[in-house]
Amino acid sequence: MAEFEIGWIAHIFVRNLVLMVLFYGGLHLWLYTFKAQGEEFNFHPKWRGEKKPRFLFGSQLIDNVIWSVASGCTIWSAYEVIMMWSYANGHLAMITWDAQPLHFALLLFVLVLRQTIHFYFIHRELHWPWLYKSAHYIHHKNVNTGPWTGLAMHPIEHVIFFSVVLLYWVVPLHPIHAMFTLQVAALMSGVGHIGFDKIKVKGGVQFPSDFFHYLHHRHFECNYGNTLFPADRWFSTFHDGSPEAHERMIEKLRARQSKNKIDTES
């Protein structure tokens, strides 16, 4: 990997594409094609089959797949390629399993938490008016989300979203940590958008999804992070789905609009 060559670069892209298709595609087949659990735990009363002009070719699924693969998988892979090339050429300091096994293993858990912190703050930035109109609006076309919605983003947003690995330019880690961080960011975004509160599998086992983030797509000005990092509670952007939480959000928006009107007039 010390030289940019089509072989190993293509290997990374194809592997990431296969992971995406297996993960997102598997969830979509189970929940929406086979409808294995019907409408049980479904957030939205409408299924995602109707034609809508705001999506490419009028199809939410086609729109989401195109953005996820053409932009998402490409930029995800580009970050990984640059990281691996940098490690191979000694541009980045690196720890090893042999020398620091405990440190190596613990970092896998720390990096997941750090990723949730990164997501909250870049997500707030993506809602700045100029950045929202330039990029983030693509993702928010999806109110009734599905597995492929997770990485259905504008290329600008993908660049910001996967920038979580830039930490490794200043903190010594290992190439596996870089690969793991990118895979968690890419694949877990699908889980956070599946459109169901729980996934049921054989034997009645249930896996929770992310009602917290579904509320963000539904109400927009709330729940910018996720439940692992309580920033939304700290910054008063938390919404738990209750009428009281919704009223607090509305009052906050009214206060902001009133302030903006006063600033504009002055």
Average pLDDT, rounded, for the chain: 89
Q: Which long-range contacts (CB under 8 A, 24 or more apart) does 167-172 make?
A: 167/114, 168/83, 168/92, 169/86, 169/92, 172/92, 172/93, 172/94, 172/95
> Quick one: pLDDT at residue 264?
54
Residues 150/192, Cβ–Cβ less than 8 Å: yes
Predicted local distance difference test score (pLDDT) of residue 262 = 58
Torsion region of 118: left, alpha or beta (phi above 0 gives left; psi -120 to 50 gives alpha) = alpha
Query: Which position has the higher pLDDT, 86 or 215?
Result: 86
Q: At what angle do helices 101-126 and 175-191 cross, to 10 degrees?
A: 50
Nearest to residue 226, comparing CAs of 139, 118, 106? 118
Contacts of 76 (CB under 8 A, 6+ apart): 16, 151, 158, 162, 182, 185, 186
Q: What is the pLDDT of residue 88?
A: 97
CA atoms within 13 A on the CB side of 153: 24
Count of beta carbons in the 10 Å neighbourhood of residue 84? 19
Beta carbons within 8 Å of 114's beta carbon, 6+ residues apart: 164, 167
CA–CA dist 98, 23 (Å, integer): 32
pLDDT of residue 177: 93
Least confident of 28-32, 165-169, 186-190, 200-204: 200-204
Name which of 76-80, 92-96, 166-170, 261-265 the model is least confident about: 261-265
Mean pLDDT of 100-123: 89
Q: How far is CA 18 from CA 14, 113, 187, in A?
A: 6, 26, 11
Q: How many whole angstroms separate alpha carbon 134 and alpha carbon 112?
A: 28
Cα of 167 vs its chain's centroid, Å:
18
- Which position has the higher pLDDT, 260 or 237? 237
The tokens describing 78, both together, are: 């580009």
Q: Contact 131/153 with Cβ under 8 angstroms? A: no
Please check whether residue 111 is in contact with residue 177, taking contact to mean a CB–CB distance below 8 angstroms.
Answer: yes
The model carries a pTM of 0.90
Structure-token pair, residue 51:
């034609």
